Amino acid sequence: MIMTDINKDELEFDALEKCYKALSKLDYESKTRVIRYLLDKFKLISYSGDILTKPEAPHPELLDNKGNEGVVLSGEEIEDTIPSVYELVTKQHARSEIDILLVVMYKMSNGGKEPILRSNISEAYKENNLYTKERSKNITNNIKSLIKKSYVTAPNNISLAITPEGIKQVGIIAEGKSATVIKSRKTKK
């Protein structure tokens, strides 16, 4: 069987999705052991047997763009100062469903640096205590709205990516300045 680029992409995203689901249930040390074992198994790195401990993260203001301590950075150089999704929702900074989805996707993508698997969005809502049946039903329509606004792209039917415009919008949401219009529901009389 000849492998096309599409088949390779599908296999890669399928592997990513399965790994993510399996690893998300483990604690930090277990995740580290599993990943190091797989890297060694596929001869990508040598496994030393050491279990890493979760590093204490210094304040982002004290890091330069390479992660070195001792340098005070400007606001643009601080990688991720966006509060948690739950905090943005409870403070009503993310007021619309589209805002909420965009912030969830931003966090899922590690600040726009990684692809987002469509199938993991409902799980991310659950992890952030934001899951409702209604929200879950509207994911596809809300994704279409985000694509239409150029906040998100869909490189294929499995994954999504946040655009620079989407990252900028997340910053606006975090500041509580989102101008997203919330449609009111019409009631029958």
**Cα 61 to Cα 143: distance, rounded to the nearest angstrom:** 33
**Cα 67 to Cα 59: distance, rounded to the nearest angstrom:** 10
Domain spans, the chain? 1-56, 60-174
Which of 129, 139, 180 has the alpha carbon at shortest distance from 160? 139
The mean of the pLDDT values for the chain is 76
Q: What is the pTM of this model?
A: 0.55
| Per-residue confidence band for 147, with pLDDT thresholds at 50, 70 and 90 | very high
Model confidence over 87-127: pLDDT tens digits? 888 888 888 999 999 999 999 988 888 899 988 999 998 98
| Per-residue confidence band for 7, with pLDDT thresholds at 50, 70 and 90 | confident
pLDDT at 74: 34
Whether the Cβ atoms of residue 111 and residue 79 lie closer than 8 Å to each other? yes
- Cα 137 from chain centre: 20
| Per-residue confidence band for 27, with pLDDT thresholds at 50, 70 and 90 | confident
pLDDT at 165: 92
What CATH number is given for 60-174 in this structure? 1.10.10.10
pLDDT at 160: 93
pLDDT at 47: 46
pLDDT at 98: 93
